Structure 1
């Protein structure tokens, strides 16, 4: 294997993550399942890609000037990616996060010197102090700040159309039957799906949504439901958002916390893949889909493991926490 060149900063290490075949947790499916390990990005998640893309685009067109404050809301992963960009490029960063995110994410943000604003996760979406409403208000009250607005910024989708999608296509040598990924902001699945469908319209794309999120009911029934509580971080939302483009999605499957987290723990124990809860959700969904595939040969199924276990050691991988949530 060729030795990689020296990078000028940690920012240059974003992307070009490995693709692996899962062997043990999918042994009985009769299909080939591959996972792109996005938790091997420098700050530990797929969101490093959009953090770099949005900041560099904003710098290029003058929306972001040296020394400015960046304000964003995040389930933690985008915040960590933005922290990397802020440190490397000399910006200040304030992030709004729900108070249900893992302690590990808060600790990592604190270690990076980020100003963290905690919001009550139980507030209804229409509350002016809810997660999605308070952030633009904070941005408006902060003169000269830059608000990337990952939930409505189409650069989120574009980052994956330009980078993640082409990497997957190349790694799989253009042979893909099914792409399965979680849907949160919609940027990852939207951008990758668009790229893959342009290459091969026969590729089927399935999104994974937590029980309690609104996307499943909107996709299947075109109705908005009252959102419910769930513990999977980084997936789903309480209302439709600008980046959640369903154009290239063929189906959405719903997963609950219990199934997602037990699959996450199984990945660790049977594959030595230390991934986060959204990865377990994707694995659980693939198992359901694979059992009903009408295909005469083994299908090639690709997914994305968005972040790693280090952010969930006190939750998903903690028996006492799992028991307290009624999940064990």
Structure 2
């Protein structure tokens, strides 16, 4: 019988499980996906949003005519917009500038006001998204900052709803639970409940971007939105969310971006589940885990949000090729040229003129990217770490006319950033990117700068 609700808020939760029969083919342990994108707002964050608003009302923090403010990658903001507007509040969402544009469009459609701010700056920087929303909360009378990262009503939503649903849907047979870790609320609440009702027998696995510091990475940038813990190299204090309890997570599967993105695309094309990139990371982790299990085990993996919010990114062949995540055999891509090129040369933006000139001796076209100083880059060089370019000819000219000395820092001699193409794009596209004014193009593989090609190599 079709359900009838008095409000859309009554439809939050109660999402189905789907067996991943095709992706899990040949694996003894069954894998079931918890389709959280079927929540009314399209993500698991609807649960936390409702829980946080109700708790704030109960505690007197949010009163009639008030304003809800939150920093979000999109999904929590959407949930708060739905709940908040339904209950008569103004909603302001501070959105990370790297989030998919569709999320901001959806927020505005629900009546929220959107403020874009960066997260790729040190936490102490006043421009950081968290500080932007805190200032708004202090300046607007009657404002309440949801603060999903430290709000314990976030994990509590999953203790009360998501965990019990999974236990009931599997008849208590679930043995392994896999989910991504963003604020940590979903995995803490759901995983904690499943451990409690099973007497500790359920194993909880975190799916984490390869470079995220949750799972042991250095916190350098990645491309899967809404999960992981980023650490800017200039951040002084690394704070983890209070909503996250690390003791709930038994182990992590660290998933490279390409594996996450391609798995999410397979979910849509093989299982009919149009989900986002963090769902791809979670399913990739679940497949790894399940391959080591037997038929008496049962894996539940949580799919946090819908792929409809990523049609311009993950589910776009053009975007995937441009960022180096998609290489097709029939496409005349840049891989052969990249394989034949000299190794990538980079110059720290704070290097001296003399040191830079020495490095540029082997750079294609005598030009190299100027990058943020970082002790090591085990996960590759992210485009966000490229702050400009350095030219051998420009440095030599500055030395010749006395404008610079070998021991001087590069400073104003750092030029504009170089054009960028993906390894899956064609030489013709790379030539167009270089244009008439530039000599070198950077090539991305899996979203990281893997090499540089001089103009003559593209002819």
Q: TM-score, normalised by structure 2?
A: 0.67
Aligned to 2:63: 65
The 3-state SS of whatever aligns with 1:64 is coil
Summarize the alignment of residues 266-305 of structure 1 with structure 2, pairs less than 5 Å apart.
Answer: 266-293=266-293, 295=294, 297-305=295-303
Asked which structure has the greater RCO (Cα within 8 Å, sep 6+), the reply is 1
One of 151, 155, 158 as aligned partner of 1:157 = 155
Instruction: Indicate the larger mover: 238-247 or 103-112.
Output: 238-247
Q: Tell me if 1:231 matches 2:223.
A: yes
Deviation at 1:30, TM superposition (A): 1.6
Measured in 1, the distance between the counterparts of 2:215 and 2:218 equals 12
Aligned CA distance change for structure 1 residues 135 and 226 (closer, same or farther; 3 Å): farther
Summarize the alignment of residues 1-328 of structure 1 with structure 2, pairs less than 5 Å apart.
Answer: 2-4=1-3, 6-200=4-198, 201-217=200-216, 226-238=218-230, 239=238, 240-293=240-293, 295=294, 297-328=295-326
Measured in 1, the distance between the counterparts of 2:218 and 2:131 equals 17
Measured in 2, the distance between the counterparts of 1:281 and 1:53 equals 26
Deviation at 1:208, TM superposition (A): 0.9
Measured in 2, the distance between the counterparts of 1:90 and 1:288 equals 45
Aligned to 1:222: none
* 1:259–1:281 Cα contact (<8 Å) kept: yes
CA RMSD of aligned residues (A): 1.4
* 1:211–1:228 Cα contact (<8 Å) kept: no
Measured in 2, the distance between the counterparts of 1:232 and 1:79 equals 18
Deviation at 1:144, TM superposition (A): 2.1
Measured in 2, the distance between the counterparts of 1:50 and 1:195 equals 15
Measured in 2, the distance between the counterparts of 1:216 and 1:183 equals 10
* 1:32–1:299 Cα contact (<8 Å) kept: yes
Deviation at 1:298, TM superposition (A): 4.1
Measured in 1, the distance between the counterparts of 2:211 and 2:127 equals 20
Deviation at 1:203, TM superposition (A): 0.8
User: Larger Rg: 1 or 2?
Assistant: 2
* 2:29–2:291 Cα contact (<8 Å) kept: no
Deviation at 1:230, TM superposition (A): 1.2
Measured in 2, the distance between the counterparts of 1:125 and 1:316 equals 28
Instruction: Indicate the larger mover: 189-198 or 208-217.
Output: 208-217
Deviations 1:69-97 (A, max 9, x none): 11101110000000001211110011111
Measured in 2, the distance between the counterparts of 1:51 and 1:124 equals 27
Measured in 1, the distance between the counterparts of 2:130 and 2:191 equals 26
The 3-state SS of whatever aligns with 1:146 is strand
Measured in 2, the distance between the counterparts of 1:67 and 1:308 equals 31
The 3-state SS of whatever aligns with 2:263 is helix
Structure 2: gaps spanning 5 or more residues:
231-237, 327-459
Aligned to 1:220: none
Q: TM-score, normalised by structure 1?
A: 0.93
Measured in 2, the distance between the counterparts of 1:206 and 1:48 equals 22
Deviations 1:98-147 (A, max 9, x none): 11111111111121221111112421233222123332233223232001
* 1:86–1:92 Cα contact (<8 Å) kept: yes
Measured in 1, the distance between the counterparts of 2:136 and 2:255 equals 33
Deviations 1:224-275 (A, max 9, x none): x652111111101224111111121100121121110000000111111111
The 3-state SS of whatever aligns with 1:216 is coil
The alignment of Structure 1 onto Structure 2 pairs a total of residues equal to 317
